[in-house]
Structure 1
C-alpha cells in the first residue's frame, strides 16, 4: 500500500495538523493524568465498513512519540464489522491521548471514503466500466483521499491541474471553441499527455471527435442520450475513451454504466460521504502513581 513506508510530505502535514490541535500542550491530559502513566489504547469500529488509513494512523502516533507501539489488527481494504478491533497503541498515556483525535479523524474519513467507494464498485459488479474520483477533495488531503478511493476498489482521475488536459465549458468559451482549444493544447503538451473534452450535446461530441480528443466526457446526459453518444463515438473512433460525469448517485451508477461508457467519475466519493464511526478506549493502565 501507498503508506507502508515513511512519506515525508505526509509526515510534514501530520506535524502541522498536530500543531493545530496541541497548541501549547494537551492541558487536560497534563493536568489530570500523572507523568509516567502508561496505557494500551484499543482502536475499534463502532459500525461496519472498509478499513483505510491504518499506516497513516500509525505514522501519527510515531510522530507524536517514537516509543509508542502501534499494532494493526487489520489491513487497509479489509471489511470490518461493528466491534472489531482495528489496532492497538501502547505506551505513554499522555502521548496516546495527544495523537488520538488526529489518528481517529484520519481513520474515520479515509475509511468512510473507502466504504462509499466500495458501495459504488459493488453496484457495478459484472460490468467493465471503471469508477474514478475527481478533484473535489478536501484541501490538503487530496493524496490521502484519493488513496482511500483506491483502497475501496476505485481508481483515480487526474491528481491536479498539471497532469492532464481537461477542456471544460469555460475553457471552450475562452478559446473560442472546441477545435481551437484542442489544437492549442496539442501544440503545447508533450505527446505522452492526453486531452479530455467535456461535452453536453451530440454536436459538441462531433466537434471533439473532429478535433482529435483522446477522452470525451459526457456531462449530465440522460441515459438515452448517453447511449447514443457512446455509439456515435465508438463508431467513429473506437480508441477514444468515454467518461460519464455529473450527478452520479449510487442509485443511478449502474444504469449509467449500462450505456457502454468506459469510465464514470463520481465527485461524491470524496465530498459527500459519512465518516466511519471509530473509537479508541484505554485499558491496562500502569505506572505513574494513583490515577
Structure 2
C-alpha cells in the first residue's frame, strides 16, 4: 500500500481502531490504577507512573512505552510494505528465470491469473482488494488494509504477539485499579469508565489471542489461512491427502522465522509427489 493511501477514509477508520487500543493502554498509566496509599484517603490511589517515579523505578513505564512504539512501527511496516507481489511486468530474462523455469518441475503446470494475467508461482493467489497476485498468500487483513503474504507474514505474527502483550499489560492495569467494595453510586462515578475500559480491552485481548494462536498453528504446519480454509478448491492440494509443504515442526518454524531451509515450493511439492508415487508402486 502506498503511503498516500493512508488518506483513504476506510484506512483511517481501521487505523483508528488500533490507535484507540494504544491510547487506552497509555491513558491507564495516568489513571488512578495503583494500590491505595495508607497516608491518603482510601478512596484515592496513586497513579502507577507517579508511584514508580516516587520509588525511582521508571524501567516498567519505559518498557511499556517501548512496547507500544514497537507495536506502532510493526503496524506501519505490515501495512505499508510489499507483501510479496508477483511482478506484473518483469524483465524477460527475470521472468523466465523466476516465474517459469527456476526449479519448476515439468509436472507442475504454471497457472495464469485470470485478473492480472501473470504466471502464478505455487501458493500464490490474486487479491481482489489489492488487485495483485501475492506470493504465499495468507489473507487480506482489513485492519491493515494490506495483504499478508510471503514478505510480511512474520512481521504480522510479531505484531500480533507484541500487541497482545500490550493489551494484557493494559488489562492488568485496568483490573488493578478497580475498587469493588464501595457504594454503587460512588463506584459508578469512580470506576465505571475504568470497568468499561477493562471490558473493551478484554474483547481486544481475546481477539488478538485467537488470531495469534491460529497463525502460530498454521505456521507450525506450514500452511496458510487461504490453504487451510479452501484446500478443497486448490488444485495442488487436492492431489495430496495431506499437506505437501509440511517439513516437520522444527523445519517449518525455522523456515518461517529464519528462512531456512530454503528452496522453492515447486521442488518440495514435486518431491512429495515422487515419494507418494514410489510408495504406491512398492
Query: Where is the strand percentage greater, Structure 1 or Structure 2?
Result: 1
**TM-score normalized by the length of structure 1:** 0.25
Q: Which has the higher contact order (CA 8 A, sep 6+)?
A: 1
Query: Where is the helix percentage greater, Structure 1 or Structure 2?
Result: 2
**TM-score normalized by the length of structure 2:** 0.26
